Amino acid sequence: MSWEPGDAVDALADGVVIVGRDGTVELVNHAAEQLFAVDRDEVVGKPFDESFSLRSNDARTWTGVNRPFDGPHIRTGVPEQSWVLPDGTECLVTARILRDEPLGPPTGVALTVRSGRGRARLDRERSDLVAAVAHELRSPLTGVKGFVQAMLSRWGKLNDEQKLLMLTTVHADADRLSRLITELLDVARLDTGRLSLARRGQDVKVLLDRIITSVQAGAPHAIELDAQPGLPEVYVDPDKFTMVVTNVVENAIRHGGGVVRVRAEAWEGDGAGTEGVRLTVDDEGDGIPHDMRRRVFTKFWTGHGNRGGTGLGLYLVNGIARAHGGQVAILDAPTGGARIVMDWPGEPPDLY
């Protein structure tokens, strides 16, 4: 396919406006026409400031603030800035100063303009994360502070059993805080592709026994484990595996209303490794509607019941499972609730 220069510029998703040395408009692409609600045939050849309204919140113009044709000759452009379009919406503007020769006088300016909706969405996500994390941190910190204060002020009046209960609660809350911090770090590492895994062969039954014993201690519902005999070892990072399965089981408890059933069985992997293990977690809740299942593994999903949490747990579940070479799926449980299926790969044949 052959492209004409004008067609190539019109194919760009961002708006492009080129201004000559005399301040008049020389080129406008289709995206810029839509952003500024102008007709390129009418604005080309006219002064930029008369045809394109880029204002700050205090009514200053883009050219008045940045003065692209003034300044030192080593200046190459204007970094991304937030400006307001004629319809009142935010846009992000970047500019390159054009020169016929290095350090020569400016011959023009090429502006790139894009909608600020993407950044606004990112800002909302960051605000949601801060709010969710602040909420999750407040509860255990309040508990730690309250019990420590009680022990400091009433140490001589408390018996050993009361002291042990308070210290056990403080220890559990400290573990919860540590786990939340680890989750936040892992989210950042997943987003940047820097998640490191210390994988080695593991006995799934041993790991599951530890996980269920830990979760069951604070769970309002029973957790049943059905592990088939003779399960193959899985090649996983035990800490990350524990985090993932704990998240799934706790989520089943939070959104379910009865017994949580965990089943482990052999899984024939599709990759080059040996067979692995398939984990199935069923709850007795309301289930997850089909039209919401794609959203479950996105950031900040807290369920249609809105029952708290950071909304990062299942995002981590999916990301960490895939980083291991496994996969996660959502189905309907026979009990009517949700079924989460996780496949974990076995040891590669050339491991030893």
DSSP 256-280: -SS-EEEEEEEE--SSSS--EEEEE
Rounded distance between C-alpha atoms, residue 251 and residue 235, angstroms: 24
Residue range 16-64, pLDDT digits in tens: 999 999 999 999 999 999 889 899 999 999 999 888 989 887 788 998 8
Rounded distance between C-alpha atoms, residue 347 and residue 352, angstroms: 9
Q: Are 5-115 and 200-344 in the same CATH fold? A: no
Rounded distance between C-alpha atoms, residue 13 and residue 75, angstroms: 26
Answer yes or no: is pLDDT of 308 > 70.
Answer: no
Answer yes or no: is pLDDT of 285 > 60.
Answer: yes
* 52: helix, strand or coil: coil
Rounded distance between C-alpha atoms, residue 230 and residue 261, angstroms: 20
Rounded distance between C-alpha atoms, residue 278 and residue 269, angstroms: 9
Terminal-to-terminal C-alpha distance of the chain: 51
Write down the architecture of domain 200-344 according to CATH.
Answer: 2-Layer Sandwich (3.30)
Helix axis angle for 238-255 and 204-216, nearest 10°, is 40
Answer yes or no: is pLDDT of 344 > 60.
Answer: yes
User: How many other C-beta atoms can be found within 10 angstroms of the C-beta atom of residue 190?
Assistant: 18
Which residue from 76, 32, 31, 79 is spatially nearest to 53, judged by alpha carbons? 32
Phi-psi region for residue 309, left (φ > 0), alpha (ψ -120 to 50) or beta?
left
Tokens of 301: 């999903």
Answer yes or no: is pLDDT of 223 > 70.
Answer: yes
Per-domain residue ranges of the chain: 5-115, 119-192, 200-344
Residue 108 φ/ψ, nearest 5 degrees: 175, 175
Rounded distance between C-alpha atoms, residue 95 and residue 19, angstroms: 10
**Which percentage of the chain shows pLDDT scores above 70?**
88
Which residue from 276, 289, 209, 277 is spatially nearest to 249, judged by alpha carbons? 209
The predicted model gives 197-223 an average pLDDT of 90
More confident residue, 220 or 7: 220
Answer yes or no: is pLDDT of 274 > 80.
Answer: no
Q: What is the pLDDT of residue 351?
A: 47
Q: Which CATH number does the domain 5-115 belong to among 3.40.50.2300, 3.40.50.800, 3.30.450.20, 2.30.30.60? A: 3.30.450.20
Q: What is the pLDDT of residue 254?
A: 83
Residue range 150-209, pLDDT digits in tens: 889 989 888 999 989 889 888 888 888 888 888 888 888 888 788 889 999 999 999 999
* 128: helix, strand or coil: helix
The CATH class of 119-192 is: mainly alpha
Q: Is the pTM of this model over 0.85?
A: no
* 36: helix, strand or coil: helix
Cβ(223)–Cβ(215) below 8 Å: yes
Residue 146 φ/ψ, nearest 5 degrees: -65, -45
Q: What is the pLDDT of residue 347?
A: 73
User: How many other C-beta atoms can be found within 10 angstroms of the C-beta atom of residue 317?
Assistant: 22
